[in-house]
Structure 1
Amino acid sequence: MTANLLRLPSGSVVDGWHVSRELGNGGFAVVYLVEKNGKPYSLKVARHRDASGDDKQTHARMVREATTLLMLDHPNIIRHRGYGYAETGNMYVVLEYVDGWTLAEWKERKHPTIHEILRVFVKLASALSYMHERGVLHRDLKLVNVLIRKSDGEPIIIDFGCATYTLAEDLTEEGLPPGTERFRAPEQFKFLREHKNEHRARYAFKVADEIFAFGVMLYELLADSRPAEHRPRIALNNPMMPPPPVRGVNPRIPLALSELVERILSRDPSQRPVDTEALRRELEEHLERSGAEYMVPAHAPSEQWSSEPSGVGGPPVVPSNSPTPPKRASSALAAGAALVVVLAAAMTFWRVSGDLPSLPPPPHSSPPTTSPPDMSLPSPAPMVLPSAADVGQKEGSTVKMPTPEVSSQGRPTRVRNKVSAVECAALSLVAALATGCPSSQIRPESFTCPAGAVAAMEDELHWREADEFALTLDDRHDREGKIWFTPGSEVVGVVPKMKGHDRRQLEVAPPGTRFYGKAYYLSDKLGRADGPALVVRYDRVKLPGQDERPICFVVEGTAFAFKDGRVQGQNFNVGYVVDRWP
């Protein structure tokens, strides 16, 4: 083992930290999963590069990273747990271990709503504001340097290898500070052009650069249906050509949000928010004003996972490089078409991807062969929602907010308006849930289990189709009794330690096995005789001491009550392995 290329084999020990495996490596360091006192950590060891021979600079970078992390203590910033030197003399830093997805992976696996994406970015802005108040600049914000922790969905900013702080010494002779080209602000490239003949010119990285990189991350999550995929993308930092508005690439994005992202990515730094605290406030205010159009996934799950071409087996897919959204049908035609679909389908399920106004059919699509229903039926009346604060209202919407009655004491009383079945069907899913429509639901799309999940279950987990396992559906609550589930929300289930597990489950899904998925609410369309159904679909699993693997596992249960868009169900149930759903 040389000092220039350090590799720690599994089982080796560094100052009491037991190495399990390598997590990743880069130009300046190698990161390992280690364990101490029964707890996992990340061990980052300075790597002396053969090509440059910059062992002093690499060491200096590790010292700077450790110094930077000692200055910070924030729930959304990776936490420092120690430092020292390996036997070879390489400096190391110990960090908390975050079991999570990168931002891009989270987007593809969990299909977050626009509201959920904004909520994550409000927390990231808060962490950056905290960091900047202490004179620290990250300088390498990008999708892979933010993890979403699987246990609670919290975003964590990681990798401070390029960070700097007030009065820190320069460690590079280059004109630009270290970073990733795609996330650099356009003024950095302008600086290089203007000072190309000045060898000593150094660009001073500023908060405005950090805000631009933040905007690139937000743009890519909103505009790109598959941000984790490695493929060429449009440059968002071209000094001469601004990117198309995010709404032009993805018509699901509300106009106000698109305009905010456009300002964050302005070619002129003075047009961006003045600092990250101002950015946080703007995002938070925007989040508080968000309405029903924010409560749907930024992209339909079928756009992200379907292997079928656009227009086959699902709604038309807007190409990620499309400069402008397709033209919409007029509001009158859209309303009529929606009513036709509702009546002809006899109140069939609404999908999450159908919450927004429908796009017109592709030019090549043929007209429907079924006869349209009698259009003399009355149009649904304007809907009344319980609270403007709950789902919001877009200007010009036909969905009307309630005017509550006021009691003699001046307190608003309960809105008395009742909702008909036709009115429920005409609502968007979010509005229907908020109104308490009994037929409303958030359901997963029909799917065939991906080949990778099938292989993992058969070859690695040794699961068989229709295997049944008992588990606590949401481990944040007690196993016994009924709990409230929010349709579309993430849940983490766990196999509890208890008597009664059969031998098969103890062998292949023992106590401590954790399931990751989402809860859904269905009416009795599954043919259940005992009323509405609560469905939890898990797509990932982690057995004790093993890596996480993809799966297809479904739990069906009775929903006992429905209130404020949530459903009540039993927290302990039996699920089964599936190869398709439903």
Structure 2
Amino acid sequence: MSTHSPSPSPEHPILAGMAAALNPPDDASPLPVGTLIGGDVVEGVLGSGGFATVYRVRSPSGYVSALKLLPLDQGPERAERAWREMSLGMRLRHPNLVRQLGAGHWPLENPRYLWVKLELVEGPTLDEWGLAPERTLGDVMDRVLEVARALAVSHEAGVLHRDVKEANILVSQSTGQAVLVDFGVGYHPACPTLTKGMFPPGTPAYRAPEAWAYGRAHAGEPGAHYRAGVGDDLYAVGVVLYRLLTGRFPFRPAEHGGEDVEAVLHRAPLPPHLVNPRLPLAVEEVCLRLLAKTPEARYPGAVALCTVLEELRARTDVDWTRVLHPERRRPVKPWARWGRVLAGVGVGLAVALGAWWLGSGREVAPGGHTPEPVRAVVAPPVEAPSPPAAAPSLALRKDSAPVKQQQTSGSQPETVSKRRGATVRTACLGLTGAALQACMGTPQQMPSERPAPPPQACPAGAMETMTGMLGLSVGEKTSVDWSSVRGRPVHVHEDATLRVGGDWEAGADFTGKGFKVALPDQTRLFGRLYVKEGRVYGRFTEARTPQGVTYPVCLELLDTSNHVGLELKPGSGPGKMMVAPVVQVRVVDRFP
């Protein structure tokens, strides 16, 4: 059949799929629903990376799987990488490793792609799962043990993963177990080396000290290439474990951004129990050994790590039911939250009136620690707040209640004034936002402004992904929120993430089946916020779905009235931005 035959009407998905089989689209264009590949029918796009696009497909028997489509006609390196991933996957079989179900060429005549069919693991990434508020120490250690078992099987087969991180570990909704996925940058001695740079593909925050040391020793040397080993995968497991236990990386980013290589090479990470006092030292010992500076100081291999974790998990002197991150509370019901807030405000106002009465001539006790009943006025936060900035100076307004002063010698008036100021500050501790300003009598403090970022192009591939793969168009917008907080402002920081509440349906109907879901419910948007002229602006450049699929995007922040940027709410101050809980994002083709 001629490839120039008239294409069937795209209104029918199966006919459109037959047309796609005859005339494969450009690599940048997603395959239409109904395309037939290896006997399976394409149902939609799961994600796209630098080397492949992953589709959800269904077999004639109804079995749903993931199909990775790798182009063969974009140079020998792309073709070699495709064959390499297929051959690595065929070597691995284990419940904690993603299963490869088949492979082949497509189309059958003049093939342009290699397809690899994989088990579809539905579930959150390990960090999304592990940092949930109800997660216990035993839960987390079980998942890490399963990752160690996956690596033991992989290493025994001679395969290094080389990109172990939470985003490549899914927690299966069906089994509850961790599954290590994406061997796209894996290595086996029988496979040719494809990387031309100093380091193999991977994520710098999980790169082992010996890799950084090699990079420094051979900087500028032509052809120098670091060869990863078993110790690199184990070090990455240590980073993963540290993050699950503490909620942070072992080393902070460098001042100029990027990895603090000096710290990775020469400093010990902060002991996890100092970050999270709920951790037992026996668990901390395993984590710190995995993060040792040399591979020899870590465990001999993944099998040894499995043995240690199994013996540790069997100990009865460790409270495995202890919740790791209780401060990450699930949001309470709105009526309960409002009742708690109103109670706090009521008690706070009563304390403030009492302080005014005391300050009107009554003698006050010398300053000391805040009495427990006053500190308890503050309603517990829904989410863990960012570290507080230095508190703004507090002063009484000129129109505060007059206080009779007796003429005395020495510095007594100054002492009384200081004492009275301390009393008011103590009394106002239970208040926030506008109530705090009314109590203290100070104007609202504005967050520190930094120079606004210059105009910026969208991330590479963002426009193609948004318009071609997700079906979004420039100017399209949707409602998002910071959390489930409603009815009061929320405290956000520069890298706060937004949440897509409910499926974001694409405005463009290009599937032939009505609107398609561009981004599913609970997708997280990552970017940066900044303050300019009293408003908060945001640029979001990455979307991460609950299934761990990441898309480059180009979205700007709007308020619910479609104005660019957000109004700062009462309670804002240096280092603290209080904004509306529900906002919008809009698709743009460039950040102005």
Q: Give the TM-score normalised by structure 1.
A: 0.51
8 Å CA contact retained: 1:108, 1:225: no
Matched, 1:300 2:326: yes
For 2:380, the equivalent position in structure 1 comes to 314
Matched, 1:169 2:192: yes
1:365, CA displacement in angstroms? 10
2: CA distance, partners of 1:290 / 1:184 = 34
8 Å CA contact retained: 1:137, 1:164: yes
Change beyond 3 A, Cα 1:239–1:450:
same
For 1:103, the equivalent position in structure 2 comes to 126
For 1:79, the equivalent position in structure 2 comes to 99
For 2:267, the equivalent position in structure 1 comes to 241
1: CA distance, partners of 2:381 / 2:47 = 38
Corresponding letter in the other structure for 1:213: A
2: CA distance, partners of 1:21 / 1:253 = 43
Corresponding letter in the other structure for 1:271: A
What do the CA deviations read for 1:117-148 (whole angstroms, capped 9, x no partner)?
A: 00111111111111111111111111010110
For 2:223, what is the secondary structure of its paired residue? Answer: coil
8 Å CA contact retained: 1:11, 1:20: yes
1:102, CA displacement in angstroms? 0.7
1:321, CA displacement in angstroms? 8.4
For 1:287, the equivalent position in structure 2 comes to 313
For 1:270, the equivalent position in structure 2 comes to 296
1:159, CA displacement in angstroms? 0.4
Counterpart among 67, 71, 77 of residue 43 in structure 1: 67
2: CA distance, partners of 1:454 / 1:140 = 28
For 2:28, the equivalent position in structure 1 comes to 5
For 1:154, the equivalent position in structure 2 comes to 177
Corresponding letter in the other structure for 1:100: G
8 Å CA contact retained: 2:161, 2:185: yes
1:11, CA displacement in angstroms? 2.2
What do the CA deviations read for 1:207-243 (whole angstroms, capped 9, x no partner)?
A: 000000011111111111899xx9x998697213332
For 1:294, what is the secondary structure of its paired residue? Answer: coil
What do the CA deviations read for 1:229-268 (whole angstroms, capped 9, x no partner)?
A: x9x9986972133321111211111122112211110112
1: CA distance, partners of 2:221 / 2:501 = 57
1: CA distance, partners of 2:318 / 2:212 = 40
Counterpart among 37, 52, 56 of residue 14 in structure 1: 37
What do the CA deviations read for 1:149-196 (whole angstroms, capped 9, x no partner)?
A: 012211111001001112321011112111111111121111111001
2: CA distance, partners of 1:453 / 1:172 = 36
Change beyond 3 A, Cα 1:175–1:316:
same
For 2:245, the equivalent position in structure 1 comes to 222
Change beyond 3 A, Cα 1:315–1:109:
closer
8 Å CA contact retained: 2:327, 2:383: no
What do the CA deviations read for 1:477-509 (whole angstroms, capped 9, x no partner)?
A: xxxxxxxxxxxxxxxxxxxxxxxxxxxxxxxxx
Matched, 1:198 2:225: no
Corresponding letter in the other structure for 1:77: L
For 1:166, what is the secondary structure of its paired residue? Answer: coil
Change beyond 3 A, Cα 1:117–1:176:
same
Change beyond 3 A, Cα 1:223–1:274:
same
2: CA distance, partners of 1:75 / 1:165 = 21
Q: Give the TM-score normalised by structure 2.
A: 0.51
For 1:256, the equivalent position in structure 2 comes to 282
Corresponding letter in the other structure for 1:130: V
For 1:190, what is the secondary structure of its paired residue? Answer: helix
1: CA distance, partners of 2:294 / 2:387 = 24
8 Å CA contact retained: 2:136, 2:322: yes
Change beyond 3 A, Cα 1:241–1:292:
closer
From the CA coordinates, give the structure whose radius of gyration is larger. Answer: 2
Q: How does 1:171-570 map to 2 (within 5 A)?
A: 171-224=194-247, 238-291=264-317, 293-300=319-326, 302=328, 313-314=379-380, 456=502
Change beyond 3 A, Cα 1:246–1:366:
farther
What do the CA deviations read for 1:535-581 (whole angstroms, capped 9, x no partner)?
A: xxxxxx99xxxxxxxxxxxxxxxxxxxxxxxxxxxxxxxxxxxxxxx
8 Å CA contact retained: 1:140, 1:179: yes
For 2:557, the equivalent position in structure 1 comes to none
Counterpart among 53, 60, 65 of residue 85 in structure 2: 65
For 1:208, what is the secondary structure of its paired residue? Answer: helix
2: CA distance, partners of 1:195 / 1:453 = 43
1:455, CA displacement in angstroms? 6.3
Matched, 1:126 2:192: no
Between the two structures, name the one with larger relative contact order (CA 8 Å, sep ≥ 6): 2
8 Å CA contact retained: 1:245, 1:259: no
2: CA distance, partners of 1:247 / 1:187 = 26
1: CA distance, partners of 2:164 / 2:427 = 43
What do the CA deviations read for 1:302-359 (whole angstroms, capped 9, x no partner)?
A: 357689999954389988989xxxxxxxxxxxxxxxxxxxxxxxxxxxxxxxxxxxxx
1: CA distance, partners of 2:190 / 2:58 = 35
2: CA distance, partners of 1:302 / 1:17 = 42
Change beyond 3 A, Cα 1:198–1:54:
farther
Corresponding letter in the other structure for 1:67: S
Between 90-99 and 2-11, the greater mean CA deviation after superposition: 2-11
For 1:137, what is the secondary structure of its paired residue? Answer: coil
8 Å CA contact retained: 2:71, 2:112: no
Structure 1 portions without partners, runs of 5+: 323-362, 369-447, 461-540, 543-582
For 2:42, what is the secondary structure of its paired residue? Answer: strand
Change beyond 3 A, Cα 1:139–1:280:
same
For 2:419, the equivalent position in structure 1 comes to none
2: CA distance, partners of 1:289 / 1:321 = 36
What do the CA deviations read for 1:391-429 (whole angstroms, capped 9, x no partner)?
A: xxxxxxxxxxxxxxxxxxxxxxxxxxxxxxxxxxxxxxx
Change beyond 3 A, Cα 1:16–1:274:
same
2: CA distance, partners of 1:317 / 1:28 = 38
Corresponding letter in the other structure for 1:201: A
